[in-house]
Amino acid sequence: MHKSAHHETVVIAIDGPAASGKSTVARELAKRLGYRFLNSGDLYRAMTWSCLRRNIDCRNPDAVATAAGNAEIKVSSEKNEYYPKIDGEDARAHLRDPEVNANVSPVSAVPAVRYILSAAIRSHAQGRQTVIEGRDIGSAVFPETSFKFYIDAHPQVRQRRRRNQGQSEEIAKRDIMDSSRSIDPLTVAAGATVIDTSALDVPGVVAAILEKLRSQGLATAIEACSSKE
């Protein structure tokens, strides 16, 4: 893994709608660069799971805000990936539960939840080199980073991907909820490079991102690109 002698903070923001391929792309990009990978959506899913198992009404913003304020959420790591632990428990086995899929959008829209989890992400990224994927990383969590990408795909392509993953999440409904929320809505961050993955494979998308990062002078991207030449 590449390490900075001065513990430099480097954040590469990978945003986009559900099933755009951003998680797969971000994970592979982190591997190529020797960075850690963080799926910010997993923190929101962990918070949703915590609410569900405590019988909190996920459609009640006040109840969710109170639950979020009382929850203990930590970012742990395994190999080159970060994952959430909530109230001392590893939440990974529950992050894609159907009930979590159905309730993560309203939980994510609660301002207190976004404040708490964004602060946790910012704190954890300090002094680290991380590829972070989500829906507002470049627009709200790390607007100051120079390395911003928005990964998109046609809605029909994204719906097919979800079904191929064995999930029943309705992409159109999720898009509306994510883009219309009042706090940190899904949007293309200022200065972000937009990549449509509808007709691209993962290596093609990663190569395009690496080339952009190299043009921006990111040392690890220059090294990664040079190793393929």
Q: Identify the band that residue 229 occupies on the pLDDT scale cut at 50, 70 and 90.
A: low
Mode of pairing for the β-strands spanning 89-90 and 81-86 = antiparallel
Tell me the per-residue pLDDT of 83-121, one tens digit each, with 9 for 90 and over. Answer: 999 999 999 999 999 999 899 989 999 999 999 999 999
CATH number assigned to the domain comprising residue 123: 3.40.50.300
**What are residue 209's phi and psi, to 5 degrees?**
-65, -45
Q: From the CB of residue 150, how many other CB atoms can be counted at a distance below 10 Å? A: 23
- Interior angle at CA 175, CA 19 and CA 86, nearest 5: 70
Asked if the structure places residue 1 within a domain, the reply is no
Asked if the structure places residue 82 within a domain, the reply is yes
Asked if the structure places residue 4 within a domain, the reply is no
For the chain, how many structural domains are there in total?
1
Asked if the structure places residue 3 within a domain, the reply is no
Name the residue range of residue 189's domain. 10-221
Asked if the structure places residue 226 within a domain, the reply is no
Asked if the structure places residue 229 within a domain, the reply is no
Asked if the structure places residue 66 within a domain, the reply is yes
- For residues 36 and 184, which has the higher predicted lDDT (pLDDT)? 36
Q: Identify the band that residue 228 occupies on the pLDDT scale cut at 50, 70 and 90.
A: low
pTM for this model (two decimals): 0.88
Share of the chain above pLDDT 90, in %: 74
d(CA 165, CA 41): 17
Asked if the structure places residue 112 within a domain, the reply is yes
Closest CA to 208 of 80, 25, 39: 25
